[in-house]
């Protein structure tokens, strides 16, 4: 992706050294679970911040969740912005990153997603990746969804895009993500302007 955003706050350039993705699950001796990330956790660097270890070795590759669509239906006070959620929609699909994580990291992932605060809950889904269907994959959905989408801030915007680009999601989907988030930010700015006028 050689495009660069004209948006003043976002630099988005295709990595010349994308992360090496496994074409099948790497052999692990300890108990593991599958995890599908569609938001900021697509970025293994950001995920490492929460889980406390390098997550690159646990990436299986890009994945597709059918029958859902993306939306920003949660305002997260800790990030001071809207964050991603998925909503059932038979006509849509969500692209993201499929991980196979050690079970010992499950608790840290739940903490990151605010499960004990009732922000997100587990949802078991099917993920299509590398011409294979993975069953019983954990993902997270917002428990109490807002009526309207809430704009992400610049930091969240960039982390989501960096994860999508670095882990090899299709260019068209990355641009769809960019446009969706950019439109939400524009709407937020217009609402602020009207309130202050």
From the first residue on, what is the mean pLDDT of each consecutive set of 10 residues in the chain (197 residues)?
Answer: 46 46 58 97 93 95 97 94 97 97 97 96 97 98 97 96 93 96 95 80
For residue 40, say whether it is annotated as part of any ligand binding site.
Answer: yes
Q: What is the dihedral of CA 165, 170, 175, 180, to 10 degrees?
A: -90
For residue 96, say whether it is annotated as part of any ligand binding site.
Answer: no
For residue 37, say whether it is annotated as part of any ligand binding site.
Answer: yes
Cα separation of 156 and 176, whole Å? 16
CATH 3.40.50.300 fits 32-190, yes or no: no
Q: Where are the domains of the chain?
A: 32-190
Active site members: 113
Long-range contact pairs involving 84-87 (C-beta distance under 8 Å, separation at least 24): 84/38, 84/39, 84/40, 84/152, 84/160, 85/141, 85/142, 85/145, 86/38, 86/123, 86/139, 86/141, 87/145
Q: What is the pTM of this model?
A: 0.84
Cα separation of 53 and 21, whole Å? 18
Cα separation of 45 and 49, whole Å? 7
pLDDT score of 28: 58
Cα separation of 118 and 178, whole Å? 28
pLDDT score of 195: 82
For residue 156, say whether it is annotated as part of any ligand binding site.
Answer: yes
For residue 197, say whether it is annotated as part of any ligand binding site.
Answer: no
pLDDT score of 14: 46
């Amino acid at each position: 992706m050689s495009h660069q955003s004209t948006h003043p706050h976002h630099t988005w350039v295709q990595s010349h050294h994308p992360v090496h993705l496994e074409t099948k699950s790497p052999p692990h001796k300890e108990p593991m679970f599958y995890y599908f990330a569609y938001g900021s956790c697509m970025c293994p660097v950001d995920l490492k911040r929460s889980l406390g270890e390098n997550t690159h070795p646990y990436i299986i590759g890009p994945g597709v969740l059918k029958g859902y669509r993306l939306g920003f239906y949660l305002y997260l006070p800790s990030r001071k912005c809207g964050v991603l959620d998925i909503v059932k929609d038979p006509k849509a699909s969500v692209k993201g990153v499929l991980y196979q994580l050690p079970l010992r990291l499950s608790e840290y992932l739940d903490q990151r997603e605010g499960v004990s605060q009732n922000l997100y809950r587990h949802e078991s889904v099917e993920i299509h990746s590398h011409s294979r269907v993975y069953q019983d994959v954990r993902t997270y959905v917002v428990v109490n969804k807002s009526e309207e989408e809430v704009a992400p801030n610049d930091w969240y915007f960039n982390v989501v895009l960096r994860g999508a680009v670095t882990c090899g999601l299709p260019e068209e989907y990355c641009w769809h993500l960019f446009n969706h988030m950019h439109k939400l930010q524009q709407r937020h700015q217009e609402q602020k302007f009207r309130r202050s006028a």
